Chain A
Amino acid sequence: MDGKHIVIVGAGPAGLAASSVLPRLGYRVTMIDRSNTLGGHLSKWYQLFPDRAAATVLLEQLTDEVPDSVSTMLGREVTGGSVSSGAVELTLDHGEHLSANGLIMATGFDLFDARRKEEYGYGIYDNVFTQAEIEEMFRQGQIETRHHRKPRSIAFLHCVGSRDLKAGVAYCSKVCCVTGVKQAIELRELLPDAAIYNFYMDLRMFGRGFEELYQQAQERYNIRFVRGRISEAAESSDGSVIIKAEDTLTSRPLKLTVDMLVLLTGMQPAAGSLELAAKLGLVLGDDSFLKPYGLTQQTFKTSYPHVVLAGSCTGPTTLTEAILSGRSAAMALHESLFKLTN
């Protein structure tokens, strides 16, 4: 499009997908990310659900599709900005200014801060982890407690910071259920003799292959699923974690000591996303994610025709959805700019 300049804020899967499309349509593209690496959360993951594909392979595919012409600015933050008719002005942290004809917000999500669920003792008890830390252990090829011991028992707790009104989070984060199942299977492969539990309120296995993975976890991998949320955790003198819960299927209270407790934390709007949205006057939904024009149609549009939304900045998404969303948002912006100039 005659060398028009598009800025993509966010170099996660949605941003990468968008940046692979736009140069081929004739745009000059700049992609900015506050992180020093491409891929967002994907870059920290080991294997993906439901097929256990390597995260590094997907990240390579996504980055390979980004043409060399895309200017990538990593480790940079947008500190100011404004949107006017047909133009977007952004200021970066070193005082640099960018002028663009269009903007794609692909600012992603942050993981819910597990310390806010104080009763589970994350950040206080040595052996309470999040799924992100477990994923890092998978990447390092070593699962061990904080005291460098091989765990004999691990419990996953679902919905930490999701569907929890007391934590101010009404929405479902969508991917934690299947992540818990996937990680439990991966742990079983590494720790054949360990007792592995999943504490859940219900399991939302909506995606292709998810339900099958859940069935395999029970039948083939001997993962124990307990319907009930953990009410509190405490640390014992040897550093193991004592958890209390109710098994709601048997209506019995349950007390269990495990070597590791893994909190499956939900998604929340990225802090950077909220800051930039405030600067640009973009609207937030009740859930604080960026609010698109519609929830069924026009899910990329904002009140500005030349600013579109992509990926999980609009709410919890799977990787598949984020990639599709990035490409679709790029096309939606192209259509919009085409209409504006023709």
Chain B
Amino acid sequence: MIAEGKRHIWKDYQKEIADNNYYYARSCVRQNFFPASEQTFLRVMKHELGKEVFDDPLHTTCTGIAYHADVVNLPTIMTVVARQFALMTRQGLSNFVPSCITSFGIYTEILETWEHFPETLEQTRDFLYKATKREFKIPDNLAHSSDVIFKFKEQIAARAMFKLVNHISGKPLRGVEHIGCHYAKMFPHKGVGGAEYPYVLAGMIEAWGGEVIDYPERRHCCGFGFRQYVVQANRGYSLAHSQKKFESMEPYSPDFIVTNCPGCPFFLDRWQYVISETEGKTYGPDGHGIPVLTFEELTGLVLGYDPWELGLQAHQVAVEPLLDKMGITYDLSRKFVGRDGNKLGTPDKPTHLKVYGYGR
């Protein structure tokens, strides 16, 4: 692998990312999958970096999943997106930051459509006004929340409590970066580093001391791919996709996987459990899986946030081996204790996958 070759390509895919004053659009599913990630983004932005981020309770789903499942048509989703932009406009903001990769893809696709087919923009303005009496401005800047963290990766590195380095051996931890398909595969120039060799997460890993693994099925979908999972009969495809990736990355002995999409960490985490239960196969050493993190969770660990405040107990694959390598101390007795002090309950212990702090 010739590292310089990738850097040559990355030079062609630089994108403008706003410096401050963001309108944050949350994902409709992420808070159920990995509940602390979005809150961690806000914490990092506001308290670590001192940035203004408006977290609006009024915005809705972008309807992206329904759009990709052919339930919502294009004029409808354009109108829903226009409403989000109207809410941003109402706050006097113009830097739109979605949490979800599918949403980022939707917003990108619609902005491109409006640019190339201006009549669809006028039609959308008309629909939105008739439906809600709202008006909107097109954002000056659209960046995914992982783009924003990428922008400030060096500042985060400067404040880091822990590095992506094995604290005993001093060697860089080896990370798989998995990019959501809708981040740049449709519009390569809208993603940091482009579509083939995205740099958005790789840049974070490098900046925080880790080493990026490039493995043969790196580009492959995690297996969510709406028609693979949302259509129940196709769920075997979803599992097969994830398995293909695990088999491909296993020889490289990754210490962790980091992702920037709602579905990817969910499926890459949960399917490891399913494969272990059905096949008895685990992809980490000694019966462990490969820990899967959202980029906000990884950022939080680097900044020294408590693993249980980051919601890492909601993961199926144990993250403790990664914490141990990074030298992060944690209290297993508090793993399943909620922030209000009440017990969350403990999940059943898997048959093969090694876990920590579980009950039966």
Contacts and interface: CB of A to CB of B under 8 A. Distances in A.
Interface of A: 115, 118-119, 121-126, 232, 234-237, 242
A123 B8 contact: yes
A236 B2 CA distance: 13
B1 A124 contact: yes
Given A115-B8, A118-B196, A125-B2, 17 more contacts: A115-B5, A118-B9, A119-B196, A121-B196, A123-B2, A123-B8, A124-B1, A124-B9, A125-B1, A126-B1, A126-B2, A232-B219, A234-B219, A235-B214, A235-B216, A236-B216, A237-B215
A118 B194 CA distance: 10
Nearest to A119: B196
A-B interface, 7 closest residue pairs, ranked by CB to CB distance from nearest: A124-B5, A123-B5, A118-B196, A234-B216, A242-B216, A236-B216, A237-B251
Nearest to B7: A124
Contacts of B356: none
Contacts of B9: 115, 118, 124
13 contacts: A118-B9, A118-B194, A118-B197, A119-B196, A121-B5, A121-B196, A123-B5, A123-B8, A124-B2, A234-B218, A235-B216, A237-B215, A237-B251
A123 B7 CA distance: 10
A122 B197 CA distance: 12
Number of chain B interface residues as a range: 10 to 19
Contacts of A121: 5, 196
Nearest to A238: B251
A236 B260 CA distance: 24
B90 interface: no
Contacts of B214: 235
B316 to A, nearest CB: 27
B191 to A, nearest CB: 12
Nearest to B1: A235
A211 to B, nearest CB: 36
Contacts of A235: 1, 214, 216
A125 B196 CA distance: 13
A237 B218 CA distance: 13
Nearest to B219: A232
A122 B6 CA distance: 10
B283 to A, nearest CB: 15
Interface in B200-233: 214-219
B72 to A, nearest CB: 29
A229 to B, nearest CB: 16
Nearest to A120: B196
B252 interface: yes
Contacts of B8: 115, 123
A73 B156 CA distance: 57
Contacts of A115: 5, 8-9
A161 to B, nearest CB: 16
Between B9, B195, B216, B251, the greatest number of chain A beta carbons within 10 A of the residue's beta carbon is seen for B216
B6 A124 contact: yes
A232 B197 CA distance: 12
A237 B252 contact: yes
Interface string B1-44: 11001101100000000000000000000000000000000000
Interface in B221-265: 251-252
Nearest to A239: B1
A122 B1 CA distance: 10
Contacts of B5: 115, 121-124
A208 to B, nearest CB: 40
Contacts of B194: 118
Contacts of A123: 2, 5, 8
A119 B197 CA distance: 9
Contacts of B218: 234
B113 to A, nearest CB: 19
Contacts of A236: 216
Contacts of A122: 5
A127 to B, nearest CB: 10
B194 to A, nearest CB: 7
A231 B194 CA distance: 17
A236 B216 CA distance: 6
A234 B252 contact: no
Contacts of B196: 118-119, 121
B253 to A, nearest CB: 11
Contacts of A125: 1-2
A235 B2 CA distance: 11
A125 B215 CA distance: 11
Contacts of B219: 232, 234
